[in-house]
């Protein structure tokens, strides 16, 4: 067991594993959609999946243009956006929205295209991790968007999946960081011992889960069923993209930008990002829910 933990925490192996996991799921999804398309075509059944017609391509191009334009305009007024983590955070909003509306495949295309174009207009630190993060944002948001179909009594599936993802991630991080020898990390002038890392994941993920439950309870008991059916899938998207893309994969790029890029630098970035999880999920949920509620009715007939 210790050998597995040591391997995952060596260099940026954990980010590589998360990347391969993302591409494996994406491959299975693409293969499944291809099978469904051929099956329906042979039996003359209308295909209800994403179609690359002129109208959809126009909307997709518009989403890419808006994402790039917003990032460029913000970078002109706030130079701090040249820092990759901040730039990717702004890009991620429209990438996730596109994935939510058009699905995983389009999300991947838009994520890669947006990151490439943004790098051309806003020169910054280039690292493959940020391209992978953009792709992951698009894919996972598109895949999790199927949860929008779980309304009414079926919303329990969304709550169960959110809980399962958070608990599984916490258990995995506890297992990985439980028996490893690492250096202390300085956080806001406080030295954090490696022995505290597993408990840090447990505490921050528990806070995240409590926040999600409180939000759901408030919406449920105040009879805001429409918003509950909208917010739950958005929370699922925020949780999955934050845990897989931001904490694990983006930390790889951050370790190369802010530090030397070694194992300790990568782990430091992972640990520091964990502190932000509850706050970022609340913020991203509010932003994505608002933007999605505005844009979705305008593009509801594009699929």
Mean pLDDT for the chain overall? 83
303 within domain boundaries: no
Taking the alpha carbons of 98, 101, 107, 113 in that order, is the dihedral positive or negative?
A: negative
β-sheet bridge partners, residue 191: 186
Task: Determine the pLDDT at residue 263.
Answer: 53
21-25, 76-80, 116-120, 121-125 — most confident range: 21-25
257 within domain boundaries: yes
Query: Which residue did the predictor score with more confidence, 129 or 191?
Result: 129
Task: Determine the pLDDT at residue 41.
Answer: 79
Contact 234, 288 (CB under 8 A): yes
Q: What does the pLDDT average to over 182-186? A: 63
Task: Determine the pLDDT at residue 184.
Answer: 63
For the chain, give the percent of residues with pLDDT over 90: 29
> Helix, strand, or coil here: 297?
helix
**Rounded distance between C-alpha atoms, residue 70 and residue 65, angstroms:** 8
Please report which confidence band the pLDDT of residue 268 belongs to, taking 50, 70 and 90 as the band edges: confident
pLDDT in tens, 136-166: 999 999 999 898 888 888 888 999 999 999 9
Residue 266 has pLDDT above 60, yes or no: yes
Structural domains counted in the chain: 1
Task: Determine the pLDDT at residue 259.
Answer: 61
- Residue 58: closest CA among 288, 257, 302: 302
Residue 190 has pLDDT above 80, yes or no: no
Centre a 10 Å sphere on the Cβ of residue 262 and count the other Cβ atoms it contains.
Answer: 14
Crossing angle of the two packed helices 84-102 and 277-295, in degrees rounded to 10? 40
Crossing angle of the two packed helices 155-178 and 197-221, in degrees rounded to 10? 170
**Rounded distance between C-alpha atoms, residue 26 and residue 112, angstroms:** 14
Please report which confidence band the pLDDT of residue 82 belongs to, taking 50, 70 and 90 as the band edges: low
Structure tokens that stand for 30 in this block: 């693409």
107 within domain boundaries: yes
Please report which confidence band the pLDDT of residue 17 belongs to, taking 50, 70 and 90 as the band edges: very high
260 within domain boundaries: yes
Task: Determine the pLDDT at residue 22.
Answer: 94
DSSP H helices, the chain, are 2-8, 13-42, 54-77, 84-102, 104-121, 128-144, 155-178, 197-221, 225-240, 250-258, 263-274, 277-295
Secondary structure element (H or E) that encloses residue 185, with its range: strand 185-187
Please report which confidence band the pLDDT of residue 260 belongs to, taking 50, 70 and 90 as the band edges: low
In the block, which residue shows the tokens 């970022």?
280
> Helix, strand, or coil here: 50?
coil
74 within domain boundaries: yes
Residue 83 has pLDDT above 90, yes or no: no
259 within domain boundaries: yes
159 within domain boundaries: yes
Phi, then psi, of 12 in degrees rounded to 5: -120, 35
Please report which confidence band the pLDDT of residue 65 belongs to, taking 50, 70 and 90 as the band edges: confident
Structure tokens that stand for 164 in this block: 């399962």
267 within domain boundaries: yes
- Cα distances from 260 to residues 22, 80, 126, 172, 251, in angstroms, run 26, 21, 15, 26, 13
Centre a 10 Å sphere on the Cβ of residue 35 and count the other Cβ atoms it contains.
Answer: 10
Contact 29, 143 (CB under 8 A): yes
Please report which confidence band the pLDDT of residue 186 belongs to, taking 50, 70 and 90 as the band edges: low
Task: Determine the pLDDT at residue 209.
Answer: 93
| Whether pTM exceeds 0.85 | yes
Residue 81 has pLDDT above 80, yes or no: no
Chain-centre distance for alpha carbon 93: 10
Kindly report the CA angle at 167 between 166 and 171, in degrees rounded to 5? Answer: 120
Structural domain for 138, as ranges? 2-298
For the chain, give the percent of residues with pLDDT over 70: 88
Crossing angle of the two packed helices 128-144 and 84-102, in degrees rounded to 10? 30
- Residue 201: closest CA among 180, 171, 229: 171
Query: Which residue did the predictor score with more confidence, 265 or 302?
Result: 265
Residue 276 has pLDDT above 90, yes or no: no
pLDDT in tens, 201-258: 899 999 999 999 999 999 889 988 888 888 999 999 999 999 999 999 998 888 877 6
């Amino acid at each position: 067991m210790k050998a597995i933990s040591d391997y995952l925490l060596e260099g940026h192996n954990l980010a590589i594993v998360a990347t391969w996991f993302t591409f494996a799921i994406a491959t299975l999804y693409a293969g499944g959609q291809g099978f469904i398309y051929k099956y329906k075509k042979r039996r003359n059944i209308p295909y209800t999946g994403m179609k690359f017609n002129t109208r959809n391509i126009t909307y997709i191009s518009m989403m890419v243009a808006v994402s790039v334009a917003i990032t460029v305009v913000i970078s002109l007024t706030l130079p701090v956006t040249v820092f990759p983590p901040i730039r990717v955070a702004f890009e991620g909003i429209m990438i996730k929205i596109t994935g939510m509306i058009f699905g995983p495949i389009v999300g991947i295309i838009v994520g890669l295209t947006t990151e490439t174009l943004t790098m051309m207009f806003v020169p910054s630190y280039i690292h493959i991790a940020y391209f992978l993060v953009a792709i992951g944002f698009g894919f996972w948001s598109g895949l999790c968007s199927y949860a929008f179909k779980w309304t009414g009594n079926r919303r329990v599936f969304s709550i169960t999946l959110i809980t399962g993802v958070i608990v599984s991630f916490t258990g995995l991080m506890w297992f990985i960081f439980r028996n490893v020898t690492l250096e202390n990390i300085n956080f806001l002038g406080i030295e954090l011992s490696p022995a505290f890392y597993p408990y840090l994941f447990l505490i921050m993920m528990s806070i995240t889960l409590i926040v999600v439950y409180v939000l759901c309870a408030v919406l449920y008991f105040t009879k805001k069923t429409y918003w509950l059916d909208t917010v739950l899938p958005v929370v699922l998207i925020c949780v999955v993209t934050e845990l897989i893309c931001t904490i694990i994969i983006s930390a790889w790029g951050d370790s190369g930008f802010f530090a030397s890029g070694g194992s300790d630098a990568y782990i430091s970035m992972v640990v520091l990002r964990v502190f932000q999880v509850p706050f970022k999920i609340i913020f991203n949920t509010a932003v994505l829910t608002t933007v999605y509620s505005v844009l979705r009715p305008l593009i509801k007939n594009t699929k």
